[in-house]
A and B are shown apart, each in its own frame.
Chain A
Amino acid sequence: MSAENAKVTGTSRVKRGMAEMLKGGVIMDVVTDTQAKIAEDAGAVAVMALERVPADIRATGGVARMSSPDMIEKIISSVSIPVMAKARIGHFVEAQILQEIGVDYIDESEVLTPADYENHIDKWQFTVPFVCGSTNLGEALRRINEGAAMIRSKGEAGTGDVSNATTHMRKIGAEIRRLVSMRDDELYVAAKELQAPYELVKEIAETGKLPVVLFTAGGIATPADAAMMMQLGADGVFVGSGIFNHAPGQPATDQESAARAKAIVQATTAYSNPAKLAEVSRGLGQAMVGINVSDIPVAHRLAERGW
């Protein structure tokens, strides 16, 4: 940088730094501007603009794609907090469109139908940062190597069943702890086994953490779920279907949604304070009915998408 004050956009630091600012917060799926405002008023740090929440995508079936730019723009203009939107795995043109309309973060998401069964998007080509899902450390490092600036554990979206989120958070944590305990000369094989670049594996062995922020997603429906993920080491949580719906096609009232949203926000901050967690868990009414992950055939599980 020669000239004084020369501004550089799209650096790893501003992409990863943006996710740092979301830490300790809740990112909520919204399908209308009214829901976006409810989320913002409840203290959400960002909203994910999409046409159908994962539970509805699951219920209606068909190909799930990027949301319409009109719908996303309407949400962008209705709130001051960051707006995220989803592109299909590998669909770099959907990502180009999302960057063009000014979304603050792109989620290259297994919740949508993949557009490429071999390659993910080359995320280094973009100024806008990306978040990607992972079920284990190797997958997380492959995404970071492709330019992801934030990782979320996948869980199983649209179920209200937190068990897969738990599995993925524990797995990522355990694999990081294993690397930290290894001798330097064992890290080469570890990289091979994780199918991840050696440089990233070595960095994690030294620092004991991912080089980007790690959120949890997929099946979080209650304040207790959010707090449990935080205690397992998440930097924050995504809540999808759990706030605005009781069941697919059965929306909660605005009042119920606002109360649940606010409770999950407070639980994410006070995650280690059981007295506060008990307090915010009261008076919320019925949580999402949900589906047990074990009742979903493996081929229909979203977490299996991504490679």
Chain B
Amino acid sequence: MVLQIGVLALQGDFREHINTLNSFQDVEAREVRTEGDLQGLDGLVIPGGESTAISKLATMFGIDTAIRNSIRAGMPVLGTCAGMIMLADDILDPKSGQTSFGGLDISVRRNAFGRQVDSFECDIQEHGFSSERLHATFIRAPWVEKVGDKVQVLATIPTDSDQKRAVAVQQGNVIATSFHPEISGEMQVHSYFLNVIRQARST
């Protein structure tokens, strides 16, 4: 059974997600820009980009309500970086007019690791995606500051103050990462997401 996955293509690195998804044999990924594009999808990806721009474009293109409703109805969704911000129920210090789709009972802090000079790569040894080491690329990345009871933390990394911060979370069919698996050839996150979709379809 081929899985139909949509990638929100308003702004950001949506092509990298499509290429990553299409490298799995049983997946057909396509761009989503309008409400009609959501028809027949098994899952949706919210890519990296600028979350303020994606938020405003979603409203301008009139697709925000439809996405919100799909997530509420149980559609599996993966968000990376800006996508994590768009899936958070609560954005700390949001700029005027920035709204999210929601779906994850988390509070997320934008640009939490600093400005672009502080962007970094690192390996994460232990995490919930698989038993293998994960390579993570963080670009002006957010972190998760608070999680609700139903949210599972899939990965954490230490910050400069040596406090651990959540950088990957899951609540039911909704998954989000602070980092960008789509630009580094890192397949584990997408593979995990596809398994969540298969499980959602079989129940």
- Is B one of A's binding partners? yes
Give the interface of A toward B (CB within 8 A). Answer: 1, 4-11, 13-14, 17-18, 20-25, 40-46, 79-82, 99, 102-105, 127-129, 262, 265-266, 269-270
Q: Is the CB of B81 within 8 A of A269?
A: no
How long is the Cα–Cα vector from A81 to B56 in the complex, in angstroms? 13
The residue in A7, A81, A266 that gathers the most chain B C-beta atoms within 10 A of its C-beta is A7
CB contacts (< 8 Å) of B12 on chain A: these are 20-21, 23-25
Q: Is the CB of B13 within 8 A of A23?
A: yes
Q: Is the CB of B121 within 8 A of A11?
A: yes
Q: Is the CB of A9 within 8 A of B124?
A: no
Closest to B47 in A: A21
How many residues of B sit at the interface, in one of the four size bands? Answer: 35 or more
Closest CB in chain A relative to B172 CB, distance in Å: 27
Closest to B48 in A: A21
Contact partner of A17 (CB less than 8 A), chosen from B11, B50, B124, B183, is B183
How long is the Cα–Cα vector from A168 to B118 in the complex, in angstroms? 33
B33 within 8 A of A: yes
Q: Is the CB of B49 within 8 A of A25?
A: yes
Closest to B10 in A: A269
Known interface pairs A13-B184, A21-B81. Does A129 touch B116 (Cβ–Cβ under 8 Å)? yes
Closest CB in chain A relative to B36 CB, distance in Å: 12
Give the interface of B toward A (CB within 8 A). Answer: 9-16, 33, 48-50, 52-53, 56-57, 60-61, 81-82, 93, 95-97, 110-111, 115-125, 137-140, 157-158, 180, 183-184
CB contacts (< 8 Å) of A8 on chain B: these are 120-122
Contact partner of A24 (CB less than 8 A), chosen from B49, B116, B120, B184, is B49
CB contacts (< 8 Å) of A45 on chain B: these are 11, 49-50, 53
Known interface pairs A14-B139, A24-B12, A80-B111. Does A99 touch B56 (Cβ–Cβ under 8 Å)? no
The residue in A9, A82, A105 that gathers the most chain B C-beta atoms within 10 A of its C-beta is A9
Known interface pairs A8-B122, A20-B16, A80-B52. Does A127 touch B117 (Cβ–Cβ under 8 Å)? yes
CB contacts (< 8 Å) of B52 on chain A: these are 40, 43, 80-81
How long is the Cα–Cα vector from A129 to B183 in the complex, in angstroms? 17
Q: Is the CB of A18 within 8 A of B119?
A: yes
CB contacts (< 8 Å) of B121 on chain A: these are 7-8, 11, 13-14
- New A-B contacts (4) at CB < 8 Å, excluding given A9-B120, A17-B119: A4-B125, A5-B125, A8-B120, A17-B180
How long is the Cα–Cα vector from A4 to B10 in the complex, in angstroms? 36
